[in-house]
A and B are shown apart, each in its own frame.
Chain A
Amino acid sequence: MAVFESTEKMYEVLGGLFTGLMNNEEVLAKVLKANITIMFDITEPKGQIWLDPNGGGVICGKADLKPDVTMSLSGDTCHHFWLKNISLPVAIAKRKVKTKGPLPKVLKLLPLLKPAHDAYPEIAKANGLPLK
C-alpha cells in the first residue's frame, strides 16, 4: 500500500513541507541564489510538485514551466528520501529515482534539500505517515 493514500494527501504533505521551507528567509535566499527550477514527477500517486525560484514558488500539479532538473520517482521513494531512509545516489543506483538535468545542478540541489530532510520527520509524524 502506498504511503500517500491520494494525490491530494501527497500535495498536502509535501506541498506543505516546501511551502514552509520557502517561507524561511535563509532557505529562500539559497534557493533564489541557486536559481534552479525543479520538477518532482511523481507516480503512485500520480502528481507533480514544482519549486520555481522565479516567482512561482511551490506549485502542486502541472505547470507551464521548463524545469532545469526533473526528478522522477514514486510517492513512497519521495517519502523515504525526505526521511533520509534512502540517499539520492542509492536511489539512483537502485533505479528508484531518475534525474534529468545537468549533473552539477542535480548535485547542487543536495545541500539545498537539507532543511527539508530536517523538517520532514515531524511533518510525516503529524500526518500519521510511517517513519520506517
Chain B
Amino acid sequence: MTYNDLNIDLTDEQITLKRETHKFAKEVMRPAAIELDMLADPEAVINSPIYWDVMKKGYQLGYHSVFIPDTWGGMGLDPLDVHIVLEELGWGAGDLAIGMCVGCFPAFFSSMVPNEKLIDDIILPFCECEDASFIGCWGITEPDHGTDTLSPGTEMFTNPDITCDVKARLDGDEWVISGQKSAWVSNGTVATHCLCFLTIDPAMGMAGGGICVIPTDLPGVRKGKPLDKMGQRALNQGELFFDNVRIPKDYMMVDQEAYDGILDLTLATANASMGAIFTGVARSAFDLALDYSKKRIQGGKPIFEHQMIKHKLFSMFMKVEAARALSRAAFVYNLNNSPPLTQYSIASKVFCTQTALEVANDAVQIFGGIGLSKEYPIEKIFRDARASLIEDGANDTLMITAAHLF
C-alpha cells in the first residue's frame, strides 16, 4: 500500500519514482528478505542466489547510486527524491535497504574529493556496475570503539587516550594500514571496497582521523565471518582485519585536518538516511497490521471494527506521519546545506527508529499469537526495528552528541 503524500508540490517524476521504487520494494525486496531471514547461518545468506539477485536488480535500477552525481553515471537525485526512494526501500526491507545504501559509501565519498585515481578506480566502475560486483562497506566501528567513533564535538573525541585501533602511517607514496574493524561493519564480508575511518595522528585522539578507500582484495586484508544476529539478518555485517595493507596516497581522501568536520557531515547524512529508511519500516508494520485487522474475525466481526484496535491503528498512523515529516525535513535540509545541522539528522534517526519499534510492537499486538510466528513478516520487522536503535550510533549516545550542538 502506498500513502497519501501531504507534499502537494511533488512532481510527476517524483510520483513515478515513488511508485516504481515501491514496486521493486514489494515484488523483489520484501519476499527476498523474508526468505533470507529464515536462513539460520548468516554465511548462507551471502551464498544465496536470492541475496545476489535482489542486489543485482537494485543495481540495474540504479538504487545503489542515488547519492552520486549524474556526471559520473550516478542517479544524481535531488534530496527529496532520495528520501522518497529510501522510505520505499525501507518499506520493502530495512536490512536490504541499509546494505544497498552503505554499498555506495566509497564511491559517494570519492565524489566529494574526485581526484583522477578515485574517479577511475572507484567512482566510474561503481556507477557502471550492474551486477553488484562492486560493493562498498562502512568500516568505522571497532571492538573497543563504538560510540567513541561517533562523538565529534564532545570532550572525549580529542582525548589522546582514545584512538582507533585501525591506524594509518604514510610511507612514501603509500599509506600503510593496520588494525581491526568490528563485526558490525555493514556489508563487511561481501564488500569489494571499504570506506575506512581510522586514526592518523593519535595525539589528537579520535579527532586525528582519516578517511580512505581500501580495496578488500589487497594483500593484508582479511574478512571475518558474517555476524549472526537477532534482526536485519539480510544485512551482511562482519569484521575486517588489516595487516600492513598498502594503499595509494590518493586513496586517503580526508586527513586529520578536516576529519571531525567530515565525520559530522557523514553522521548527518547517515542518520538522515536511517530516518528515511525506518519511516518506511514503521509504515510497513502499520500497513500489515491494518490489512490483518480487516481480515481477522473475532467477536463475530473484523477486529478493525473493535474500537480499541481502531484507536491503536490511528495512533500508529500518526506516528508514521510524524516520522515522515521530521525525517523528510531533516533530510532535505541537510542534503541542501553544508555544513549540515546534524542535530536534526540525529533527531530524525532517533525518532524514526524508536517509532519503527513502537509501531512494529503495536502491530505484533494486533496480530496476536500469529504475530509471534514466522507466518507473517511482522515478527521480522519487529526484530529489524529493534536493531536500528543501536546501529549507526546507539540512540542514547547520539542524543548526547546532538545536545552538545545546542
Residues of A whose CB lies within 8 Å of any CB of B are 34, 87-90, 92-95, 97-108, 110-111
Contact = CB atoms under 8 A, between A and B. Distances in A.
B71 interface: yes
B339 A98 contact: yes
Nearest to B116: A114
Interface in B31-75: 67-71, 74
A93 B265 contact: yes
B114 A103 contact: no
Contact of B68 (A90, A99, A104): A104
Interface stretch (B170-178, B221-229, B254-262): B254-262
A106 B340 CA distance: 14
Contacts of A88: 112
B79 interface: yes
Interface of B: 67-71, 74, 76-79, 111-114, 119, 253-254, 257-262, 264-265, 335-339
A92 B74 contact: no
Minimum-distance CB pairs A-B, first 5 = A93-B261, A93-B258, A108-B69, A90-B258, A104-B76
Given A90-B261, A104-B76, A106-B338, 14 more contacts: A89-B112, A89-B261, A89-B262, A90-B258, A93-B261, A93-B265, A98-B337, A99-B338, A103-B79, A107-B68, A108-B70, A108-B76, A110-B114, A111-B119
B336 to A, nearest CB: 6
Contacts of A97: 338
A102 B78 contact: yes
Nearest to A91: B258
B265 to A, nearest CB: 7
A97 B265 CA distance: 13
Given A103-B79, A103-B338, A92 B265 contact: yes
A93 B260 contact: yes
A103 B268 CA distance: 13
11 contacts: A34-B71, A93-B258, A93-B259, A93-B261, A95-B339, A98-B337, A98-B339, A102-B79, A102-B335, A104-B69, A105-B76
A12 to B, nearest CB: 29
A99 B337 contact: yes
A90 B177 CA distance: 22
B265 A107 contact: no
A62 B391 CA distance: 47
B112 A105 contact: no
A104 B70 contact: yes
B9 to A, nearest CB: 15
A104 B73 CA distance: 12
B257 A90 contact: yes
Contacts of B74: 104
Contacts of A107: 68-69, 71, 111-112, 114
Contacts of B259: 93
Given A87-B113, A89-B113, A94-B258, A105 B69 contact: yes
Nearest to A34: B71
Contacts of B76: 104-105, 108
Contacts of A108: 69-71, 76
